[in-house]
Amino acid sequence: MSATIATAVKTLNIDGIEVPINGERNLLELIRKADIDLPTFCYHSDLSVYGACRLCLVDIAGRGIQGACSTPPEPGLKVRTQTEEIREIRKISVELLLANHERECTTCGKSAACQLQDVARKLGINKVRFQPVHKPKPVDRSSLSLTRDPNKCVLCGDCVRFCSEIQGIGAIDFAFRGHDAAVLPAFGKDLGEGECINCGQCAAVCPTGALTPRQEIDEVWKVLGDPTKTVVVQIAPAVRVAIGELFGMPPGESTRGQMVAALKRLGFKYVYDTAFSADLTVIEEANEFLGRKTNGGKLPLFTSCCPGWVKFAEQYFPELLPNLSTCKSPQQMLGALVKELLPAELGVEKKNLVMVSIMPCTAKKFEAKRPEFAKDGVAEVDHVLTTQELARMIEEAGLRFTKLQPESFDMPMGFKTGAGVIFGNSGGVSEAVLRYAAEKVTGKKLVNPDFHAVRGEDGLRIVEVPVGDIVLKLGIVHGLKNARMLAEKARRGKCDLDIIEVMACPGGCIGGAGQPVSRERDIRKLRTRGLYDVDKNMELHKSQENHFVTECYQRHLGEIGGKNAHRLLHTHYHNRRRIAGETIELGDSPEAEKVKVNVCTGTNCFVKGSQHILHALLDQVEKEELQDKVSINASFCFEKCDHGPTVSVDGNKIQWCTAPAAKAEILQKMKEKNQ
């Protein structure tokens, strides 16, 4: 019996060790299972195999040198990961990268976390034998969320594949060939001018400092040192189960007390918890949903607390903006409350009250700068720091994080329930809303507040949850490519869901791009479990049990969903231009007497058929030999995405345009020019 079982086990030999094959996708996974850290830049377990860096080379008996990431495992293979030839190839590959790399490592934002630096050290490279041939390129600081330094790019393609495969956007891609190859936004634009939704996941997977979260540390130090400023801070739930990793603590361990202590030592006057306003969000959003469900309002209701998703919807699905919850995100709700209430309580001018957020997310930096979230020139949130930036400030201050005596959040906006805390997980918003809605609908107290059905790791989950006499159908997605699938169904009226929770980042906020960078697959699981453990260790688990929130309504907000609550806690969103307005001329340069036709080929109009209109008009011009009378151009963008396709004929914009309508307008303009 035992001999039969032993024979059935499929193995291969790696450096003299028999390693069992158990569903691994490639040799690289098996090699790592054998506790061999084979170097690589371009391999990421969540992405497709690219095989560009050529660092994970192995010598397979009878086959020669091959890439481990792109070679499937087969029983009986004999693999060597270390030979003199392989080591030399790896060294040459890394030296060539270093020769054309900006090597100001001590001032790089990725210093000490740079994979290129780490691999060079492990390979024993102490001299670069090749001369640089590249010319320095300007650093792109156009984005409010990210910094792009093309001088540090190693062309691994991780950012390109994540943006395309996980987010379904393609805001950056490869351009040119050979020596001139580069990773660029569309049409050579800066990152802040294109379709980037600021999620920052490109920076999270970037192995070097080519893409990093935009830093606001200096601005925060400045206001902390200004005696005329009163600086308060809020901390998002996901930060507490991740920041400890940067100080050698286990992933998922809550460091709430040490964080508060560190922030007070840094000089913040009050330290609040974003989970407090997450409780507020639950109450406002749940009542908004119940109102729509009861009164026949727009459904499905999409959540709106993820700014990356909101910008994605503005760019690609403007027709669905009425389906988005009007609730602000918890960050902006707390910012609005602080700027409304604290000036009078503290006796300071609103312009001298500074609100800083500590977030796991780079898109929050963009959100804080949206004009909707400022009143009379005063922003609700002035500065947003990522988890990484807070850790750096703590280090700059010389604080020994793990040795700090825990301190408590300041009241009342430091108080929260477990519902507010689990907001940081994918499915957490849905569960928090269900904990409220179940009691609201049935009038009965929930004995067990857990809704395990909405939890999970899959990027797209559809669940049905009975609540009283009704069954609620919910969609929970993370990763915007998954969100696009449900949004497309909703746009076509084919979606029968009640609520759709969308988070741009894998796993939700716990996987935000501002969190500590790790390529370990289990890190997100540990952070997720950490937040659920925090919830379990709290006495209160439902937002309606937060008595400080109840008091806030009684003293300041009035009725739930009422006029004052809407003024402070709700907002609306709008169509958003994706590519700064330009045209691509298709043919000879237009002359003054020509009829000038611009066909919008922005994403929304494109998927609605503008490319067919464009081809039809080009064919007509060529067939009737009208090149000297008509100029056809591809254009970006008329900002009429919900009325597309849009075509402009001599400045007259035709919405919901068809090829016959465009042709008729062109003929009319030609007649007018000939009169």
**Which residues are catalytically annotated?**
285, 288, 305, 325, 364, 367, 372, 509
Return d(Cα 531, Cα 529) in angstroms, integer.
5
Q: What burial class does residue 343 get, using C-beta atoms within 10 Å of its C-beta: 0-12 exposed, 13-18 middle, 19+ buried? A: middle
Q: Pairing relation of β-strands 78-80 and 64-67?
A: unpaired
Return d(Cα 410, Cα 231) in angstroms, integer.
13
Q: Select from 197, 203, 239 the least CA-distant residue to 479.
A: 197
Return d(Cα 57, Cα 45) in angstroms, integer.
17
301: enclosing H helix or E strand = strand 301-302
Tokens of 218: 């200096």
Distances, alpha carbon 496 to alpha carbons 304, 320, 455, 464, 480, in Å: 19, 14, 20, 11, 20
Contact 75, 9 (CB under 8 A): no
Q: Residue 271's beta-bridge partner residues? A: 233
Phi, psi at 183, each rounded to 5°: -105, 120
Contacts of residue 634, Cβ cutoff 8 Å, sequence gap at least 6:
583, 584, 586, 598, 599, 601, 614
Q: Give the other-Cβ count within 10 Å of 111's Cβ.
A: 12
The C-alpha angle 622, 628, 631, rounded to 5 degrees, equals 75
Q: What burial class does residue 595 get, using C-beta atoms within 10 Å of its C-beta: 0-12 exposed, 13-18 middle, 19+ buried? A: buried
Tokens of 257: 């007390």
Contacts of residue 85, Cβ cutoff 8 Å, sequence gap at least 6:
59, 65
The C-alpha angle 509, 512, 514, rounded to 5 degrees, equals 130
What DSSP state is assigned to residue 321? G
Tokens of 630: 């008509």
Strand, coil or helix: what is 14? strand
Strand, coil or helix: what is 155? coil
DSSP assignment string, 493-509? T----SEEEEESSTTSG
Q: Give the other-Cβ count within 10 Å of 408's Cβ.
A: 12
Tokens of 216: 């606001």
Q: Residue 273's beta-bridge partner residues? A: 235
Q: Residue 632's beta-bridge partner residues? A: 597
Return d(Cα 579, Cα 557) in angstroms, integer.
40
- Tell me the H-state helices in 253-380: 256-266, 274-295, 307-316, 330-346, 363-368
Q: Residue 12's beta-bridge partner residues? A: 19
Tokens of 55: 């660092």
Cα dihedral: 498, 503, 508, 513 (round 10)? 180
By 3-state DSSP, what share of the chain in percent is helix, strand and coil, each rounded to 5? 45, 15, 40
Q: What burial class does residue 5 get, using C-beta atoms within 10 Å of its C-beta: 0-12 exposed, 13-18 middle, 19+ buried? A: exposed
